[in-house]
Amino acid sequence: MRNTKCCPKCGSREIIRVPDNAHRYLANSICVTKLAFVKRVPVARYVCHACGYVEDWVENQRERDVIQKAFG
Ligand SMILES: [Zn+2]
């Protein structure tokens, strides 16, 4: 949905991007912990307005590198 601007489930083009806020209490972010250092990687959500389908994206390459180091 992020790249096509189109819902893969229903074909709608009404896509809403919901940015993550890593400082929010119920953030959608991914927690990566290294010793005592805790970092949260923001995850943006793309929501189809028509059917409600949701995709999650880690949009920043450097943040994806952090996840790869932690879990890869
Ligand atoms: Zn849809």
As a whole number of angstroms, the distance between CA 8 and CA 3 comes to 11
- Residue 61 CA to ligand 1 centre (angstroms): 27
| Residue 69 contacts residue 61 (beta carbons within 8 Å) | no
Indicate the helix (H) or strand (E) that contains 65: helix 61-71
Q: How many Cα atoms are found within 13 Å in the side-chain-facing hemisphere of 28?
A: 14
| Residue 29 contacts residue 57 (beta carbons within 8 Å) | no
State pTM to two decimals. Answer: 0.79
- Residue 47 CA to ligand 1 centre (angstroms): 8
Task: Report whether pLDDT(62) > 90.
Answer: yes
pLDDT value of position 65? 93
pLDDT in tens, 1-57: 999 999 999 999 999 999 887 556 556 778 777 666 677 888 999 999 999 999 999
- Residue 46 CA to ligand 1 centre (angstroms): 10
- Residue 23 CA to ligand 1 centre (angstroms): 29
Sign (positive/negative) of CA torsion 54, 25, 41, 20?
A: positive
